[in-house]
Amino acid sequence: MSDIMPTDSAYDPQSDISPTDGGPGTGFDFRNLDRRWIFLAMGLSIAIPMLRGVVFPEEPSREVLDVFATVEGLEDGSSVLMAYDYDPASKGELEPMAAAFVRHCAEKKHKLYFITLWPAAVPMLQKNIAILKREYPEYTYGEDYVNLGFRPGNEGVIKVVVTDLKKLYANDVDGTDLNELPLTTNLKNIQSMDLIINVSAGTPGAKEWVQYAATPFDIKMVAGVTGVGYTPLVPYVPKQLAGILGAIKAAAEYEEALLLEYPELRENPATQEGLRKMGPQLVAHILIIGLIVGGNVIFFTDRKRGV
Amino acid sequence: MMRSSNVIWLLLLLVGGGFLVFRTANGSMGKAYVRHEVFDATTSFKEQIQKIDDEEQQELAKGKTLSERKAAARRKLRDRLPDVAGITWTNVSSAEPGELIGSDGQPDPAVVFSWSRTIGLWIAALGTLAIMSFLWGDNVFYKLAEAIVVGASAAYAMVVGFWTGIIQNLFGKLIPTAMRDTVLPGLPGSQEAELIYIVPLVLSVLMLWRLAPQGGWISRWPLAFFIGATAGIRLVAYLDADFVQQIGNTIIPLIVSDKEQGLMVGQSIGNIIIIVGVLACLVYFFFSFEHTGAVGATARVGIWFLMITFGAGFAFTVMGRIALISDRFYFLFYDWLWIPKPGIDA
């Protein structure tokens, strides 16, 4: 086992083994390839397709269509809680799906309540609300959407807002009394929501919304999560979660589903951020697969030769 | 004598740096613009009143009347109209360089260069490069950027937590009048003092007692309360969502059929895999029997299911990491370097 497991020194970023330092008489040796060549190859595999604008066709999977159908299936003007729990560190992965959810809800004229459990997510909420202001000027603040902002307390916040929202949220993010906004005047708690859409980068996030809101109060919920957070949430589908989007691939598929249903959105390049990011993603994946296969070929060849 | 790889990397850095210097000297990158929109409160109020009037006309055309809520909102707007005369405010939002010229081909005076956002843009770009420089090896730029990220994140979380947790949630409930008159003007007038919030205030003070030179043990009492309360709250949630409901999620038919479609092979196989996987993994984590014979074979199947799950999780993680690096490249190429976006700008 020890001969195949990398030693600690193999992960030393200071390591400076040159491609030509493979050993006496070996010349260029992949066994001792400087990891920085791999980093460079990875960088190029992402940069070149991005600069060339490579976009591959996407076909929405059944899992993505389940999420899409949940939002689409609501009556126009339904109440949707937009619980966006992600910060700038994961915006690259989650922003396309968060924006796609906003556009989809706006096309359906849903009433949107933005909320977050992450302190650093407030600018993310503002960025998504900017989509409404820019692309859907008919959406009026306080009547069609409201930004509740952040409150500290992690899942404790969910525990409270699910029974008495105004106990924690007396004001919106700008300090306006919620009783003065038409959308929230009669809002008691989030049990009256027709759907919770959660975009989550970790804890607190989708798991907590399932545990403290969707499951005990039987509120319909869909989620979009990072790649890291996807697999642990899959067991909640379909009973506790109507559907889940996993990482940028699902975001691109959701965008495609949205564009198929609302073709006029295709004129806006911002609606295809996820699709554009899948080009570099595919090339980088091919590189990784190639490196894994290559590494294994070298390993088994060496073992066969008794090296 | 430098190693050949170091020479290549140095050349790459020099070429990249030269490219940056060239583009900066040309003034064709790294600038941020903002759009200033001036709003007049009187106009804004009149527009809102007009909107309600229009809605009333639409309702009347349908044979309905305007809701009392909207009528009250209109009355309120009209009553406040004289008070807001002369009040204006400016909304500042990000603008693209392409917005400098309006649709009529003339310079748009509302779009102006922003020093503060330009400095922010350069800090973000240089910070990104500094963090990426760790791929080359540990260095002072990486350490500096790392320290800035940690410090800024902690400070941001502390400031937001102070204003939302301590000011808004604690003192906003304990002394609402004082808060309304000072830092929380939007606090509802109906908000009355809730003395129950003295309890969390006292617990918080006790928690901070650990910083005192004597009696640090006092902080254990609020800590015990928080741990007990949190454990209790989480236990109930886990039992319901992750235990009882999950058992329910695995009580599914092995053979799925439908009157119209007949036997649904795909769904049946899926259900069988779920049930076999759950049982096999449970057997693997059951250590009261030695893993030999049938138990050992089943546990082995459980290991396979676990490995496939870990593999899927790892693959998703890789996809996520590539998405993050591509987002940073996107920022560097388009927001900082102003390279034309293929298919959009060019």
pLDDT tens digits along B274-322:
999 999 999 999 888 888 999 999 999 999 999 999 999 999 999 999 9
CA–CA separation, A138 vs A4, rounded Å?
61
Residues in chain A: 307
Q: How far apart are CA B85 and CA B87, in angstroms?
A: 6
SS3 of residue B258 by DSSP: strand
Classify residue B54 by burial, with Cβ atoms within 10 Å: 0-12, 13-18, 19+: exposed
Question: The tokens of B291 are what?
Answer: 């893993």
DSSP β-ladder status, B262-263 and B257-258: antiparallel
The answer to whether A29 and A264 have CB atoms below 8 angstroms apart is no
Residues in B closer than 8 angstroms to A14, CB to CB, are 137-138
How far apart are the C-alpha atoms of B169 and A168, rounded to whole Å?
7
Strands B111-113, A111-116: pairing is unpaired
Q: What pLDDT does B304 receive?
A: 96
Phi and psi at B70, nearest 5°, equal -70, -35
Q: Do B233 and A175 touch (CB under 8 A)?
A: no
CB–CB contact B249 A248 (8 Å): no
Q: Residue A148 contacts by C-beta under 8 Å, 6 or more apart in sequence?
A: A113, A114, A115, A169, A172, A173
Residues 148-167, chain B, touching A (beta carbon < 8 A): 153, 156-157, 160-161, 164-165
Residues of A in contact with B241 (CB under 8 A): 210-211, 215-216, 236, 240
A130: chain B residues, CB-CB within 8 Å:
93
Q: Residue A109 — pLDDT band, cuts 50, 70, 90?
A: very high
Residue of A nearest to B187 (CA): A177
More confident: A15 or B27: B27
Report if pTM > 0.90: no
Which residues make beta-bridge pairs with B263? B257
Q: How far is CA B37 from the centre of its chain?
A: 27
Three-state secondary structure of B164-208: HHHHHHHHHHHCHHHHHHCCCCCCCCCCCCCHHHHHHHHHHHHHH
**Chain B residue nearest residue A241, CA to CA:** B241
* CA gap A184, A188 in Å, rounded: 8
Which DSSP string do the residues of A32-71 spell out, in sequence order? G--HHHHHHHHHHHHHHHHHHT--------HHHHHHHHHH
Paired residues of B101 in beta bridges: B107
Residues of A within 8 A of B327 (CB-CB) are: 91-93, 95, 277
Are B233 and A159 an interchain contact pair (Cβ–Cβ within 8 Å)?
yes
Q: What ipTM score was computed for the predicted complex, to two decimals?
A: 0.85
Decide if pLDDT at A1 tops 50.
no
The whole-angstrom distance between B322's CA and the closest CA on chain A is 6
- C-alpha to C-alpha distances, B69 to A300, B66, B75, B297, nearest whole angstrom: 76, 8, 10, 69
Look at residue A7 and tell me whether its pLDDT is greater than 80: no
pLDDT at A6 exceeding the cut of 50: no
CB B333 within 8 A of CB A97: no
CB B42 within 8 A of CB B89: no
> Does the pLDDT of residue A33 top 70, yes or no?
yes
Q: Could you state, in chain order, the average pLDDT of each consecutive group of 10 residues for chain B (346 residues)?
A: 72 83 80 90 89 86 82 87 89 85 85 94 94 90 95 90 88 92 84 92 93 91 93 91 91 89 90 94 91 93 96 93 93 90 75
Q: How far is CA B17 from CA A71, B23, B30, in A?
A: 48, 10, 14
Confidence of residue A21 (pLDDT cuts 50, 70, 90): very low
Domains of chain A: 62-275 (3.40.50)
Q: How many CB pairs under 8 A join A and B?
A: 194
Percentage of chain A lying above the pLDDT 70 cut: 91
Of A36, A51, A150, the CB nearest to B9: A36
Q: Are B159 and A119 in contact (CB under 8 A)?
A: no
Report the range of poorest mean pLDDT among A9-18, A123-132, B124-133: A9-18
Q: Is the pLDDT of residue A252 over 70?
A: yes
pLDDT for res B119: 95
Interface membership of B177 toward A (CB under 8 Å): no
Q: What is the distance, to the nearest Å, from the Cα of residue B305 to the centroid of all Cα atoms in its chain? A: 33
Three-class SS state of A143: coil
- Is the pLDDT at A16 greater than 70? The verdict is no
Considering only CA atoms, which of B318, B282, B288, B320 is closest in space to residue B301? B282
Peptide linkage before A204 cis (omega within 30 of 0): yes
Number of Cβ within a 10 Å radius of residue A74: 17
- Token reading at B212: 């005192």
The tens digit of pLDDT for each residue in A181-212 reads 989 999 999 999 999 999 999 999 999 999 99
CB of B247 within 8 Å of a chain A CB? The answer is: no
Return the pLDDT at B346. Answer: 60
* Contact criterion met (CB below 8 Å) for A244 and A210: no
Residue of A299, A56, A208, A178 whose CA lies nearest to B240: A208
- The CA distance from A260 to A74, in Å, is 18
Q: CA–CA separation, B92 vs B53, rounded Å?
A: 30
Q: Check CB contact of B212 with chain A, cutoff 8 Å.
A: no
Please give the Cα distance from B53 to A246 (Å, whole number): 46
- Chain B nearest-CA residue for A90: B324
Q: Is the separation of the CB atoms in A296 and A289 below 8 Å?
A: no
Mutate to test the interface with B, among A167, A171, A185, A236 (most CBs of B within 10 A): A171
Our CA-based measurement puts residue A62 at a distance from the nearest CA of chain B, in whole angstroms, of 12
| Beta-bridge partner residues of A84 | A199
Burial of A157 (0-12, 13-18, 19+ CB in 10 A): buried
Residue A281: name the closest of A67, A63, A93 by CA: A93
Nearest CB to B237 within list A119, A151, A211 = A211
A167 pLDDT tier (thresholds 50, 70, 90): confident
Residue B249's pLDDT is 87
Nearest Cβ partner for B316 among A140, A175, A231: A231
User: Which residue in chain B is spatially nearest to A34 when comparing CA positions?
Assistant: B5
Q: What pLDDT score does A27 carry? A: 58
